[in-house]
Structure 1
Amino acid sequence: MKRTCDFCGSQFVPVEKKQRFCSARCCHYYHNRIGNDHIQHAVKPPENRILRTFRCRQCGRVVYVTEKEDKRQRFCSVACSRNYHRHERRRDSGRASGGRAY
Protein backbone atom coordinates (compact mmCIF):
# COMPACT_ATOMS: atom_id res chain seq x y z
CA MET A 1 0.00 0.00 0.00
CA LYS A 2 1.56 3.29 -1.13
CA ARG A 3 1.17 6.66 0.55
CA THR A 4 1.84 10.22 -0.47
CA CYS A 5 4.52 12.18 1.40
CA ASP A 6 2.98 15.12 3.31
CA PHE A 7 5.92 17.35 2.35
CA CYS A 8 7.09 16.58 -1.19
CA GLY A 9 4.07 14.68 -2.53
CA SER A 10 6.02 11.66 -3.78
CA GLN A 11 4.66 8.12 -3.47
CA PHE A 12 6.35 5.76 -0.99
CA VAL A 13 5.79 2.45 0.79
CA PRO A 14 5.54 3.14 4.56
CA VAL A 15 7.75 1.18 6.95
CA GLU A 16 5.46 1.96 9.91
CA LYS A 17 1.68 2.36 10.08
CA LYS A 18 1.81 6.04 11.06
CA GLN A 19 4.59 7.11 8.67
CA ARG A 20 3.71 10.39 6.94
CA PHE A 21 6.94 11.24 5.13
CA CYS A 22 9.04 9.42 2.53
CA SER A 23 12.32 10.29 4.29
CA ALA A 24 13.80 11.82 7.42
CA ARG A 25 14.76 14.87 5.34
CA CYS A 26 11.12 15.52 4.35
CA CYS A 27 10.04 15.09 7.98
CA HIS A 28 12.69 17.56 9.12
CA TYR A 29 11.78 20.18 6.50
CA TYR A 30 8.07 19.78 7.19
CA HIS A 31 8.41 20.39 10.92
CA ASN A 32 10.82 23.31 10.49
CA ARG A 33 8.87 25.09 7.76
CA ILE A 34 5.27 23.98 7.42
CA GLY A 35 4.91 22.76 11.00
CA ASN A 36 5.28 26.32 12.30
CA ASP A 37 2.57 27.85 10.10
CA HIS A 38 0.38 28.43 13.14
CA ILE A 39 2.92 31.03 14.23
CA GLN A 40 3.13 32.77 10.86
CA HIS A 41 -0.61 33.12 10.40
CA ALA A 42 -1.63 33.70 13.98
CA VAL A 43 -4.84 35.65 14.49
CA LYS A 44 -4.76 38.38 17.08
CA PRO A 45 -6.57 37.10 20.20
CA PRO A 46 -9.06 39.21 22.15
CA GLU A 47 -7.43 42.07 24.07
CA ASN A 48 -8.38 40.66 27.49
CA ARG A 49 -6.37 37.44 26.83
CA ILE A 50 -3.07 39.07 25.77
CA LEU A 51 -0.45 38.97 28.54
CA ARG A 52 2.33 40.58 26.51
CA THR A 53 3.24 41.42 22.94
CA PHE A 54 6.65 41.49 21.27
CA ARG A 55 8.22 41.48 17.83
CA CYS A 56 10.42 38.51 16.88
CA ARG A 57 14.06 39.60 16.57
CA GLN A 58 14.68 37.28 13.64
CA CYS A 59 11.65 37.51 11.35
CA GLY A 60 9.86 40.61 12.67
CA ARG A 61 6.49 38.95 13.30
CA VAL A 62 4.33 40.32 16.08
CA VAL A 63 3.79 37.64 18.75
CA TYR A 64 0.84 37.71 21.15
CA VAL A 65 1.46 35.70 24.33
CA THR A 66 -1.81 34.54 25.90
CA GLU A 67 -0.69 31.88 28.39
CA LYS A 68 1.42 32.20 31.54
CA GLU A 69 3.32 29.00 30.66
CA ASP A 70 4.54 30.58 27.40
CA LYS A 71 7.98 31.98 28.26
CA ARG A 72 8.83 33.40 24.81
CA GLN A 73 10.20 36.94 25.01
CA ARG A 74 12.41 37.47 21.96
CA PHE A 75 11.60 34.92 19.23
CA CYS A 76 8.39 33.50 17.78
CA SER A 77 9.81 29.98 17.41
CA VAL A 78 12.78 27.76 18.14
CA ALA A 79 13.73 27.94 14.44
CA CYS A 80 13.95 31.75 14.57
CA SER A 81 16.05 31.57 17.73
CA ARG A 82 18.47 29.11 16.10
CA ASN A 83 18.76 31.17 12.92
CA TYR A 84 19.36 34.37 14.86
CA HIS A 85 22.13 32.90 17.00
CA ARG A 86 23.70 31.01 14.10
CA HIS A 87 24.07 34.19 12.06
CA GLU A 88 25.18 36.14 15.12
CA ARG A 89 28.14 33.78 15.55
CA ARG A 90 29.11 34.24 11.91
CA ARG A 91 28.98 38.02 12.20
CA ASP A 92 31.06 37.98 15.39
CA SER A 93 33.74 35.68 13.95
CA GLY A 94 34.67 38.24 11.30
CA ARG A 95 35.45 41.10 13.66
CA ALA A 96 38.44 43.25 12.80
CA SER A 97 39.11 44.41 16.35
CA GLY A 98 38.93 42.49 19.59
CA GLY A 99 39.51 39.09 18.03
CA ARG A 100 42.69 37.12 17.69
CA ALA A 101 44.58 37.29 14.43
CA TYR A 102 45.80 33.84 13.43
Structure 2
Amino acid sequence: MRCCEGCGKPLPADAAPRKRFCSAECERRSYYEGRRDKDHAKEESEEGIPLREFQCEQCGHWVRVMSKNDKRFRFCSAKCEKTFWKRNKPKAARASKASAGRGFGGGYFERCCKWCGKSFGTQSATALYCCREHKHMALMWKKQNAAEEKKARKRSKYRPFVDGGSD
Protein backbone atom coordinates (compact mmCIF):
# COMPACT_ATOMS: atom_id res chain seq x y z
CA MET A 1 0.00 0.00 0.00
CA ARG A 2 1.33 3.40 -0.99
CA CYS A 3 1.19 6.42 1.30
CA CYS A 4 0.80 10.19 0.71
CA GLU A 5 4.21 11.92 0.57
CA GLY A 6 2.78 15.00 2.29
CA CYS A 7 0.87 13.69 5.31
CA GLY A 8 1.57 9.94 5.33
CA LYS A 9 -2.07 8.79 4.96
CA PRO A 10 -2.64 5.72 2.78
CA LEU A 11 -3.63 6.44 -0.83
CA PRO A 12 -6.81 4.84 -2.24
CA ALA A 13 -6.33 1.50 -4.01
CA ASP A 14 -7.67 2.88 -7.30
CA ALA A 15 -5.18 5.81 -7.29
CA ALA A 16 -3.17 6.37 -10.48
CA PRO A 17 0.35 4.89 -10.44
CA ARG A 18 1.96 8.37 -10.56
CA LYS A 19 -0.21 9.84 -7.79
CA ARG A 20 1.94 10.89 -4.80
CA PHE A 21 -0.47 12.93 -2.65
CA CYS A 22 -3.93 12.27 -1.20
CA SER A 23 -5.30 15.75 -2.01
CA ALA A 24 -4.49 18.98 -3.84
CA GLU A 25 -4.03 20.75 -0.50
CA CYS A 26 -1.46 18.17 0.61
CA GLU A 27 0.36 18.53 -2.70
CA ARG A 28 0.45 22.37 -2.38
CA ARG A 29 1.68 22.24 1.22
CA SER A 30 4.45 19.82 0.28
CA TYR A 31 5.47 21.96 -2.70
CA TYR A 32 5.75 25.16 -0.63
CA GLU A 33 7.62 23.40 2.18
CA GLY A 34 10.09 22.04 -0.35
CA ARG A 35 10.59 25.49 -1.88
CA ARG A 36 11.15 27.03 1.53
CA ASP A 37 13.72 24.35 2.39
CA LYS A 38 15.59 24.92 -0.90
CA ASP A 39 15.67 28.72 -0.42
CA HIS A 40 16.79 28.33 3.18
CA ALA A 41 19.58 25.93 2.18
CA LYS A 42 20.76 28.41 -0.46
CA GLU A 43 20.92 31.24 2.11
CA GLU A 44 22.87 29.10 4.57
CA SER A 45 25.47 28.07 2.01
CA GLU A 46 26.11 31.72 1.03
CA GLU A 47 25.87 33.08 4.56
CA GLY A 48 29.23 32.14 6.06
CA ILE A 49 31.59 32.50 3.10
CA PRO A 50 32.35 36.02 1.80
CA LEU A 51 32.78 36.51 -1.94
CA ARG A 52 35.60 39.01 -1.39
CA GLU A 53 37.20 41.02 1.41
CA PHE A 54 38.99 44.35 1.09
CA GLN A 55 40.02 47.38 3.09
CA CYS A 56 38.27 50.68 2.30
CA GLU A 57 40.74 53.06 0.63
CA GLN A 58 39.23 56.06 2.41
CA CYS A 59 38.60 55.04 6.04
CA GLY A 60 40.53 51.75 6.30
CA HIS A 61 37.45 49.77 7.42
CA TRP A 62 37.52 46.06 6.46
CA VAL A 63 34.60 45.09 4.22
CA ARG A 64 33.26 41.55 3.70
CA VAL A 65 31.08 41.27 0.59
CA MET A 66 28.58 38.43 0.99
CA SER A 67 26.11 39.07 -1.85
CA LYS A 68 26.63 38.69 -5.59
CA ASN A 69 24.61 41.89 -6.09
CA ASP A 70 27.01 43.95 -3.94
CA LYS A 71 29.24 45.84 -6.40
CA ARG A 72 31.72 47.29 -3.88
CA PHE A 73 35.42 46.70 -4.61
CA ARG A 74 37.32 49.68 -3.16
CA PHE A 75 35.12 51.61 -0.72
CA CYS A 76 32.82 50.63 2.15
CA SER A 77 30.16 53.24 1.30
CA ALA A 78 29.15 55.89 -1.22
CA LYS A 79 30.17 58.57 1.30
CA CYS A 80 33.74 57.21 1.49
CA GLU A 81 33.96 56.98 -2.30
CA LYS A 82 32.78 60.58 -2.75
CA THR A 83 35.22 61.87 -0.11
CA PHE A 84 38.11 59.94 -1.69
CA TRP A 85 37.49 61.30 -5.20
CA LYS A 86 37.10 64.87 -3.91
CA ARG A 87 40.57 64.67 -2.39
CA ASN A 88 42.25 62.54 -5.06
CA LYS A 89 41.32 63.73 -8.52
CA PRO A 90 41.92 61.37 -11.45
CA LYS A 91 45.38 61.52 -13.08
CA ALA A 92 43.99 62.90 -16.36
CA ALA A 93 42.38 65.82 -14.52
CA ARG A 94 45.59 66.65 -12.64
CA ALA A 95 47.67 66.54 -15.83
CA SER A 96 45.51 68.96 -17.83
CA LYS A 97 44.68 72.59 -17.08
CA ALA A 98 40.97 71.84 -16.78
CA SER A 99 39.21 68.94 -15.14
CA ALA A 100 38.81 65.75 -17.12
CA GLY A 101 35.14 66.44 -17.77
CA ARG A 102 33.06 63.36 -17.02
CA GLY A 103 36.05 61.14 -16.43
CA PHE A 104 36.75 60.36 -20.08
CA GLY A 105 40.29 61.67 -19.82
CA GLY A 106 39.59 64.87 -21.77
CA GLY A 107 41.74 67.95 -21.56
CA TYR A 108 41.99 71.65 -22.26
CA PHE A 109 41.85 72.96 -25.83
CA GLU A 110 42.76 76.40 -27.13
CA ARG A 111 40.41 77.44 -29.97
CA CYS A 112 39.67 80.44 -32.19
CA CYS A 113 36.01 81.54 -32.49
CA LYS A 114 34.69 81.23 -36.07
CA TRP A 115 32.42 84.24 -35.58
CA CYS A 116 34.59 86.88 -33.90
CA GLY A 117 38.10 85.41 -34.23
CA LYS A 118 38.78 85.71 -30.48
CA SER A 119 40.89 82.99 -28.83
CA PHE A 120 39.15 80.94 -26.10
CA GLY A 121 39.80 77.87 -23.95
CA THR A 122 37.43 74.90 -23.78
CA GLN A 123 37.18 71.28 -22.64
CA SER A 124 35.35 70.31 -25.84
CA ALA A 125 37.43 69.03 -28.72
CA THR A 126 34.75 70.15 -31.21
CA ALA A 127 33.84 73.66 -29.96
CA LEU A 128 33.81 76.29 -32.73
CA TYR A 129 32.44 79.40 -30.98
CA CYS A 130 33.45 81.25 -27.81
CA CYS A 131 29.86 81.74 -26.56
CA ARG A 132 26.25 80.77 -27.23
CA GLU A 133 25.40 84.10 -28.81
CA HIS A 134 28.08 83.71 -31.49
CA LYS A 135 26.97 80.15 -32.21
CA HIS A 136 23.35 81.33 -32.52
CA MET A 137 24.28 84.26 -34.79
CA ALA A 138 26.35 81.96 -37.03
CA LEU A 139 23.45 79.52 -37.36
CA MET A 140 21.03 82.35 -38.20
CA TRP A 141 23.43 83.77 -40.80
CA LYS A 142 23.86 80.29 -42.29
CA LYS A 143 20.07 79.84 -42.59
CA GLN A 144 19.61 83.25 -44.20
CA ASN A 145 22.41 82.74 -46.72
CA ALA A 146 21.89 79.03 -47.43
CA ALA A 147 20.15 79.63 -50.78
CA GLU A 148 22.86 82.02 -51.99
CA GLU A 149 25.64 79.62 -50.96
CA LYS A 150 23.90 76.77 -52.78
CA LYS A 151 23.76 78.83 -55.99
CA ALA A 152 27.42 79.78 -55.61
CA ARG A 153 28.44 76.13 -55.19
CA LYS A 154 26.50 75.18 -58.34
CA ARG A 155 28.20 77.96 -60.28
CA SER A 156 31.65 76.90 -59.11
CA LYS A 157 31.04 73.36 -60.42
CA TYR A 158 30.51 74.65 -63.95
CA ARG A 159 33.18 77.33 -63.83
CA PRO A 160 36.25 75.78 -62.23
CA PHE A 161 38.90 78.05 -60.82
CA VAL A 162 41.41 79.10 -63.47
CA ASP A 163 44.66 80.60 -62.34
CA GLY A 164 45.11 83.83 -64.23
CA GLY A 165 48.48 84.49 -62.67
CA SER A 166 51.73 85.38 -64.39
CA ASP A 167 53.59 82.84 -66.51
**TM-score tier after normalising by the smaller chain length:** 0.3 to 0.5
In terms of Rg, which structure is larger?
2
Structure with greater proportional helix content:
2
